[in-house]
Amino acid sequence: MATLDVLTYGFALNTDQGSFGYSTNSLLRTGSHNILIDTGPSSRRPFLYRALTNMSLTTDDIDIVILTHMHWDHCQNTDLFRNARVVVNPVEIDYARNPNSWDLAVAAGMADMMRNMKVEVVSEGDTIVDGVTVLETPGHTKGHMSVLAEIDGENVLIAGDAMPESGTVSRGIPYNIFWDTEDAHASVEKMVASSNV
C-alpha cells in the first residue's frame, strides 16, 4: 500500500516588494519504491537530510526523484540523489537548458548537472511505477507536471506549483503564474477533474 509523507513544508511570502517561496518536498512510498517529489532549494539541505533520517532513510534509499518543474526551489538538491532515476518533463528540461534571459527562477546549471544522472523524460499519462502517473499541468512553467498516486483507492494529486494553495480551486487559477495564464487555468480544471481535490 502506498503512503505519502511531507518531508519539508513549503511556504510563500507576498509583499509589496515581491514574492518568495519554497517548495514542499514529499515522499511517496509504494512498498517497492521510495519516490521523492521535488528536492527543494540547496539552503534547505539540512532539513531534507533530517527528514529522511527521521524516516530511517538516506539519500541512497531514494529510488526515483520526480521534478514537477525546474525552478530553483524545487530542484537544487537533485544532485544528492545520484542513484535515483530523475523523472522530468522534456519540455521543462529543454527550457532549463536555454531559459529566457529574464527568467531568474530557473535553477542555473541544473540541466547540465543532470546530464550525469539517470534522467528519464516523461509526458502526460506516463506511468512511473504501478499506481503513479504523470499529469501535465503547464501554466506556472511551460513543462510543469503533477503526480497522480493511487493511495487507499483514491487518486491523490501532488501538484507542485500548479496548485500551490487551496484558493487555487475557487479562483480557478494559481496566484503564481510564470508562463501562461490560459494554460494555468486549464491545468486547474484538469487537476480538479482527475483527483480528489
User: Stretch 121-146: mean pLDDT, rounded?
Assistant: 96
Q: Which CATH number fits domain 3-194: 3.10.580.10, 3.60.15.10, 3.30.1330.20, 3.40.50.1000?
A: 3.60.15.10
pTM of the model: 0.92
Task: Report yes or no: 92 and 143 within 8 Å, Cβ to Cβ.
Answer: yes
pLDDT tens per residue, range 80-97? 999 999 999 999 999 988
DSSP string, 10-22: -EEEEETTEEEEE
Of 74-83, 103-112, 126-135, 180-189, the one with minimum mean pLDDT is 103-112
Report how far residue 48's alpha carbon sits from residue 105's, in angstroms, rounded to the nearest whole number: 21
Query: Alpha-carbon distance 133 to 179, whole Å?
Result: 23
Q: Using 50, 70 and 90 to split pLDDT, how confident is the model at 17?
A: confident
Domains of the chain, by residue range, sit at 3-194
CA within 13 Å, CB half, 107: 24
> pLDDT digit string (tens) for 158-181?
999 988 888 888 888 887 777 888
